[in-house]
Amino acid sequence: MFTKSKAASSIPWSIAVIDMVTLASLWCFSLFIVNPFGNFPLNDDWSYGLAVKHLIEKGDFCPPGWVSTQLITNVMWGSLFCIPSGFSFTALRLSTLTLSLFGIFGVYLLIRDLHQPRWLAVITALTLAFNPIYYALSNTFMTDVPYTALTIFSAIFYARSLRNGSDRDLIIGTILAIAATLSRQLAVSVPLAYAVSLILTRGFTNRNILRGALTLAFCLGALLVFQHWLTASGRVPVLYYAKTKDLLHVFRKTRNLGWPLVKKTCIGLLYLGWFLLPILIFSVADILRCHRKKTIALLKSTIGIMILVFGACTLCGRCPFMPMSKNILIKSGIGPLTLRDTYILHLNHVPTLPMGFWLVITAMSFLGAAFLIATLGIHITNLKLRMRLGGKMSDNEAVGIFLLLSAMMYLLPLFVSHFYDRYLFPTIPFIAAGIAGVSGCFSRFPRIDLRTLRLAAVTLLFAFSLFAIGITKDYLAWNRVRWEALHDLIVNNHVHMEDIDGGFEFNGLYLYNPHYQKVPGKSWWWVQRDTYQIDFNNIPGYRVIKEYSYPCWMPPHIGKVVVLQLKV
């Protein structure tokens, strides 16, 4: 027997529509400034684009070797946007932007389902929308944003099922979780967290065990069936099992679970503290009202421990300032800067943001990390104490536990093995909504305090949005110019692709070879002959034959991309 969904959401839809239209308007206005159009790949999405192109032209899913995720959900979604006018990276980018906006809407719904005020839902949605990594990757065909959007909506329906026992919501949540799992395997953290939280919060009964086990089994089953199909049909990409092997390697060497785990956890907490700061100022203000001494002591001890950890990192030669992880956020803004002079030779050919800027970001990250630990520590301790005394967990608290468990189960394998900065932002909606669930209602603040907190949050969001928009515009600008230079070199100067080192995306898109052997003195990205190179500035042994300029916002300057020719 299926249980019908009862009171799935208490949101007045007239108000929700107004809020969503407002969110969409802000989002679209920012994209108008950024200008996401351009038929060129970014970062790893050349490989994902090739899979879409193969599906459209051959009617077959065959991912290239440079793929380490399931990807099939992303390929099917992207191919829909290529139907009207054929394959292009502009169409693929539009597909990601669409899911990105749905993800923003999903965060709003997740918070409103917890009976939190609309202003908190809007602030949380904007916290995700203008997270610099989420915003930048929304303008690519990378898998991170679609994965995040799918897991958010899966969590919405799992949370409703947890609240009202609805089988219909459970089925919808499981279908969405399967779609997310066939994008990236770590999506199994959501149904796993649902199964655990269902038993923890609703009791160890046969029905709860069965419901939790089935939803997890369907997701894992879909993953295993897909992997068996890849293997049986000879479609397994070269890098498909690379991350799994890395994780197993870590567990074989237990020393990697000591200091490296502490260091990576602290770095992850700094990023999360920065990303969640507009929400954390409300949660800390809330616990300070009720547990002032305990909260202050916890904040002090947390900051002290993190300073000691990063002091040790500094002594080991690691830079103690943000950004501390690799890939998207770099000293100059958004990356990676995938040209030979910056990425391979590590030449400082692109101006970095002022050290004062990164010092402020680092201070905010430390403060946010302390806020996050204090918030979770106080609420989880109080909840455990109340349950021991025979108290009953509310529906919102049960949902909050589920969301926080989802984030923790997602982060654990990353902290144990290896992570890029872009792997962290998918937890933003889960941690923010989880805190909202276990905290009660944020509308209890005195009016004057609430105004001050809202002003602080809006100020932070405004600064975050300027940063995200500016660095994303710059990232797209130099890539657009890079591909213009490559087009001129190939079409107008009649240079063969095999003679060009055009950067990671260019050589990957046109010259990828899983059996490529690295050549000393050449870039590792499948370069055959580097008679011509595209760089940000001249390098020894080459001469500049053409220069292209573009305006940069952060920091303000005129950037350039140069075409180099090998000196004879």
User: What is the rounded CA–CA span in Å between residue 9 and residue 114?
Assistant: 9
Report the number of distinct structural domains present in the chain: 2
Whether residue 166 sits in one domain with residue 105: yes
Mean of pLDDT values over 136-148: 97
First to last CA, the chain: 79
Q: Give the residue among 491, 492, 486, 479 at the shortest CA–CA distance from 511.
A: 486
Whether residue 502 sits in one domain with residue 448: no
- Is 365 part of a structural domain of the chain? yes
Residue 297 has pLDDT above 80, yes or no: no
12 or 160, higher pLDDT: 160
Both tokens assigned to 457: 């949050």
- The pLDDT value recorded for residue 6 is 43
Q: What is the pTM of this model?
A: 0.93
Whether residue 373 sits in one domain with residue 237: yes
**Residue 495 structural domain:** 475-566
- Provide CB contacts within 8 A for 112, sequence distance 6+: 9, 10, 11, 16, 118, 121
Residue 136 has pLDDT above 60, yes or no: yes
211-244: pLDDT as tens digits:
999 999 999 999 999 999 999 999 998 888 877 7
Of 46-55, 109-118, 122-131, 432-441, which range is least confident?
432-441
Residue 33 has pLDDT above 60, yes or no: yes
What mean pLDDT value characterizes the chain?
89
Whether residue 455 sits in one domain with residue 480: no
Both tokens assigned to 548: 């292209």
Residue 1 has pLDDT above 60, yes or no: no
Whether residue 291 sits in one domain with residue 259: yes
pLDDT band at 303 (very low <50, low <70, confident <90, very high): confident
Q: Give the residue among 316, 366, 381, 328 at the shortest CA–CA distance from 131.
A: 328
Distances (CA, A) of 517 to 207, 512, 532, 533: 56, 11, 20, 19
Q: Give the residue among 84, 78, 110 at the shortest CA–CA distance from 97.
A: 78
* Angle ∠(7,9,11) on CA atoms, nearest 5: 130
Residue 503 has pLDDT above 60, yes or no: yes
- Provide CB contacts within 8 A for 533, sequence distance 6+: 339, 340, 500, 501, 502, 539, 542, 563, 564, 566
Q: 3-class DSSP state for residue 367?
A: helix
- The pLDDT value recorded for residue 19 is 94
In sequence order, what are the beta bridge partners of 334?
329
User: What is the rounded CA–CA span in Å between residue 513 and residue 62?
Assistant: 15
Whether residue 222 sits in one domain with residue 128: yes
Cβ neighbour number for residue 565 with a 10 Å cutoff: 17
Whether residue 416 sits in one domain with residue 315: yes
Domain boundary among 474, 507, 522: 474
Residue 34 has pLDDT above 60, yes or no: yes
Residue 415 has pLDDT above 90, yes or no: no
- Is 3 part of a structural domain of the chain? no
- The pLDDT value recorded for residue 4 is 42
DSSP E strands, 357-412: none
- Is 338 part of a structural domain of the chain? yes
- The pLDDT value recorded for residue 314 is 65
DSSP label at residue 36: -
- The pLDDT value recorded for residue 53 is 96
- Is 5 part of a structural domain of the chain? no
Domain boundary among 474, 509, 529: 474
What are the φ/ψ torsions at residue 542 (nearest 5 degrees)? -125, 160
- The pLDDT value recorded for residue 121 is 95
- Provide CB contacts within 8 A for 163, sequence distance 6+: 113, 395, 398, 399
- Is 26 part of a structural domain of the chain? yes
Residue 469 has pLDDT above 80, yes or no: yes
Residue recorded with tokens 């994965």: 147
User: What is the rounded CA–CA span in Å between residue 271 and residue 274?
Assistant: 5
CB of 108 closer than 8 Å to CB of 19: yes
- Is 380 part of a structural domain of the chain? yes
103: Cα within 13 Å, side-chain hemisphere: 32
- The pLDDT value recorded for residue 380 is 84
In sequence order, what are the beta bridge partners of 500?
532
Whether residue 450 sits in one domain with residue 550: no
- Is 7 part of a structural domain of the chain? no
Amino acid code (one letter) for 373: I
Omega within 30 of 0 (cis) for the link into 323: yes
Of 1-15, 259-273, 322-336, 447-461, which range is least confident?
1-15
- The pLDDT value recorded for residue 245 is 72
- Provide CB contacts within 8 A for 187, sequence distance 6+: 147, 150, 151, 154, 177, 180, 181, 219
User: If phi over 0 gives left and psi between -120 and 50 gives alpha, with beta otherwise, what is residue 234?
Assistant: left
Both tokens assigned to 161: 């099922």
Domain boundary among 439, 474, 509: 474
Mean of pLDDT values over 383-387: 78
Burial of 127 (0-12, 13-18, 19+ CB in 10 A): buried
Whether residue 388 sits in one domain with residue 509: no
Mean of pLDDT values over 359-374: 90
Amino acid code (one letter) for 474: D
For a pLDDT cut of 90, what percent of the chain falls above it?
A: 68
Mean of pLDDT values over 455-463: 95
Mean of pLDDT values over 552-563: 94
- Is 366 part of a structural domain of the chain? yes
For a pLDDT cut of 70, what percent of the chain falls above it?
A: 92
- Strands 532-535 and 557-566: what pairing? antiparallel
Whether residue 499 sits in one domain with residue 442: no
Whether residue 219 sits in one domain with residue 308: yes
Whether residue 455 sits in one domain with residue 511: no
